[in-house]
Structure 1
């Protein structure tokens, strides 16, 4: 992608301006390639949150919105790199290069990497950006990933991120509906690499994914700021029984993403451990309430978490926990309970008082958030947190709470 000097100056001058307003000023800048400039300005602005270390650099080129929307964030890309042991990181082939975020952060561990992408425009952007980032050991290949896989020399690692949208832009939730179909390619992938990292949609069912892929060694469910972002499966040549596959649930802060060894909530378990774990239930909430983070809820580690953190579950299907002593390192949100009531109007009045705002969550409760808000006349927001749930004795209750900050949140 070639941009003339006028266009580059325009991008630098207007980097923080509203692109919709700039789009109306084409006649004022006849020497500027305005469509190209607007793509770069919008990309840089989007990168401020998603890829802050790249946004801070001059000269980085950005793709059109769709490619940037679908690419990994810096936090999740850093986490992927943290998963790969140094001893195994010789050569890497990224078969679905895209904008190159994952390839860039993964490749920092490897002596040589190959970026493969079938869209020529994205290859041009990657070939421009990688040297600016000091990644001169990445070779850019404009090719179809599956075709390249069939002919490539063996590598230590392969990374593949199959497309998770159908031809009409809809999201897909099954491996067979992704393109390429990794289940069909599994044998070939492992013939070409010692290890394979597969990035999948968080919408996929983890158990079904493990059934579809026969050589899963470990699974990672990655969330950022308690929003589930991606499912990572590591494939290898040995066979692990599905119930013994380690499942790592990670919840990263948006701007750090240092992985399992740095900031973030990490909880690991296996299905066999989950099935054999004792869980205690209670009819009466204690002083504190806990809601597991999005990765743990996605993974289904509902029983295993209780004995490890010495908390009681409110109900087998409520997925909320309680204790009388504060558990400082619980992997999720922690709350101090300030009141509990049934749906009796007098009890609601006594517990909620005159509050008009609350953050409402429904867990195993016969009403939606919208229905509950309408019934008790509460708008969204404020410092009060209200959980509508069911206790072990099947009683429906509202639990009023105030948030307890974790040590790392207090420091920010």
Structure 2
């Protein structure tokens, strides 16, 4: 989105029309758009309002009730922090007792809004002019907060008299060349942001969940977060925003949050038992598979694979549990015969540690039965293995 389109999007006329279009679905957009133009509405205004209304509908699942009060663009929505996670970010700054937080990379301002809603003033920076215009509108309900267009690190250095005691950053990890996994390619650079932890009361940095553990300073808390099974971020926390150096996993499911912390240890491997457990991705990324195994009385099926096994299982938010029905070598003919004997016509395939993909395997199985089963392709004690399992 360019700056001119952003100005149109935040105009009273566009906001009013977008509200009228709130429940107009994709199937009706063409008809409704033509009607609005016949009624004398400018075509550019109609297009902007249609786009905004559609993005708001799409954003409801991710951003909650606030979605219908926001101005958005596609790229910003795709990168926006989920509402539940932004609330947890804000909670840390509130617990730290911060009075004003600088958001160095505010985007559409979703994290800044969550912080401001906790009674904390926010000075937010955004390098893109159009995005800054939208963020300014999104932060309008909090007059003590503001959005500045420009370089955040330079701008922060000029705020010496503004009593900033907290800093939050979500460095850009994408460019025209694609997604960046190396923290040195973040914008602003991760090391430059982390250097600020000695100058403010609280520092929080949202990074990609694939960040190498070696890139995380030992004196910071690193927390990997998953929402309904998807690992959405890792958060690095320092100062009063930290709850203790080390790694943790925060698993959010159906609105409930569960935290696992401990030493990063893969644990021991042993023979396959009656149950297979698939740790949540946040647990795996945090390096806490061994800690989870110790807590639930399980062990790895293979030293190199993040599947656990146990004789008995109890419900845990940190892993999905399956009962092992049958164990077979990973041989397509034997596997197909076993599935046909069980009248299986469809399979949900999980894989870890094997090269064979579900797309390659399904047509080779030639299944025609009536039942649906879950199939796990992995290594067990160093051998490629297929497990027929059922959810507990």
Moved more, 174-183 or 147-156: 147-156
Q: Which residue of 2 is the match for residue 259 of structure 1?
A: none
Confirm or deny: 8 A CA contact 1:89 1:109 kept in the other structure.
no
Moved more, 343-352 or 104-113: 343-352
Decide which of 235, 240, 254 is 2:238's aligned counterpart: 235
**Which string of whole-angstrom CA distances, capped at 9 and with x for unpartnered residues, describes residues 1-55 of structure 1?**
4535587246414533218636962743432411321231122112111111213
**Which string of whole-angstrom CA distances, capped at 9 and with x for unpartnered residues, describes residues 41-97 of structure 1?**
122112111111213x5xx24222111211111122123234446243332111111
- Cα distance change, pair 335–16 in 1 and its aligned pair in 2 (3 A): farther
Confirm or deny: 8 A CA contact 1:23 1:34 kept in the other structure.
no
For the aligned residue pairs, the C-alpha RMSD in angstroms reads 3.1
Q: Which residue of 1 is the match for residue 4 of structure 2?
A: none
1:385 aligns with 2:388: no
Q: Which residue of 2 is the match for residue 209 of structure 1?
A: 215
Structure 1's unaligned 5+ residue stretches are 257-262, 405-412
Q: Which residue of 1 is the match for residue 260 of structure 2?
A: 267
Moved more, 117-126 or 322-331: 117-126
Q: Which residue of 1 is the match for residue 321 of structure 2?
A: 334
Decide which of 380, 385, 388 is 1:397's aligned counterpart: 385
SS state at 1:304 partner: helix
State the alpha-carbon separation in 1 of the partners of residues 371 and 91 from structure 2: 37
State the alpha-carbon separation in 2 of the partners of residues 100 and 186 from structure 1: 21
- Give the C-alpha shift of residue 346 in structure 1: 5.1
State the alpha-carbon separation in 2 of the partners of residues 9 and 330 from structure 1: 43
State the alpha-carbon separation in 2 of the partners of residues 91 and 297 from structure 1: 35
Decide which of 31, 35, 41 is 2:41's aligned counterpart: 31
Decide which of 162, 171, 180 is 1:172's aligned counterpart: 180
- Give the C-alpha shift of residue 348 in structure 1: 4.9
Confirm or deny: 8 A CA contact 1:339 1:351 kept in the other structure.
no
- Cα distance change, pair 300–311 in 1 and its aligned pair in 2 (3 A): same
SS state at 1:356 partner: strand
SS state at 1:303 partner: helix
Q: Which residue of 2 is the match for residue 143 of structure 1?
A: 150
1:129 aligns with 2:138: yes
**Which string of whole-angstrom CA distances, capped at 9 and with x for unpartnered residues, describes residues 181-201 of structure 1?**
1213433x2354122111112
State the alpha-carbon separation in 1 of the partners of residues 31 and 207 from structure 2: 37
- Give the C-alpha shift of residue 173 in structure 1: 0.6
Confirm or deny: 8 A CA contact 2:251 2:317 kept in the other structure.
no
Confirm or deny: 8 A CA contact 1:313 1:321 kept in the other structure.
yes
Q: Which residue of 1 is the match for residue 113 of structure 2?
A: 104
1:219 aligns with 2:222: yes
- Cα distance change, pair 158–389 in 1 and its aligned pair in 2 (3 A): same
Confirm or deny: 8 A CA contact 2:18 2:53 kept in the other structure.
no
- Using structure 2 for the length normalisation, give the TM-score: 0.84
Q: Which residue of 2 is the match for residue 250 of structure 1?
A: 250
Aligned length: 375
Confirm or deny: 8 A CA contact 1:7 1:31 kept in the other structure.
no
Structure 2's unaligned 5+ residue stretches are 1-6
**Which string of whole-angstrom CA distances, capped at 9 and with x for unpartnered residues, describes residues 276-297 of structure 1?**
xx52411x331x2110011122
- Cα distance change, pair 82–191 in 1 and its aligned pair in 2 (3 A): closer
**Which string of whole-angstrom CA distances, capped at 9 and with x for unpartnered residues, describes residues 259-316 of structure 1?**
xxxx134221233xx27xx52411x331x21100111222232333222210122111
Confirm or deny: 8 A CA contact 1:164 1:172 kept in the other structure.
yes
SS state at 2:289 partner: coil
